[in-house]
């Protein structure tokens, strides 16, 4: 493995970690919005 391959591997690993975190956060915000909407709190649901 060359130095460039090692950097690519590290970069891709970090990028995958970041994308995973962003998608997880997105799902959490969606879950909060659905909860507030089902609890008949539309003003709070709009925040998410």
Taking CB atoms within 8 Å and a gap of at least 24, the contacts of 12-16 are none
Largest CA distance in the chain: 57
Query: For residue 48, with 0-12 CB atoms within 10 Å meaning exposed, 13-18 middle and 19 or more buried, which class applies?
Result: middle
What string of pLDDT tens digits covers the 48 residues of the chain?
A: 677 777 678 889 999 999 999 999 999 999 999 999 999 998 988 888
pLDDT at 1: 60
pLDDT at 17: 96
30's enclosing H/E stretch is helix 3-38
pLDDT at 40: 93
Tokens 């891709």 label which residue?
A: 12
pTM: 0.67
Tokens of 20: 């995973």
């Amino acid at each position: 493995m060359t130095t460039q391959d090692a950097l690519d591997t590290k970069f891709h690993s970090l990028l995958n970690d970041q994308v995973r975190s962003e998608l997880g956060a997105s799902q959490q915000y969606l879950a909060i919005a659905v909860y507030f909407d089902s609890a008949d709190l539309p003003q709070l649901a709009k925040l998410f």
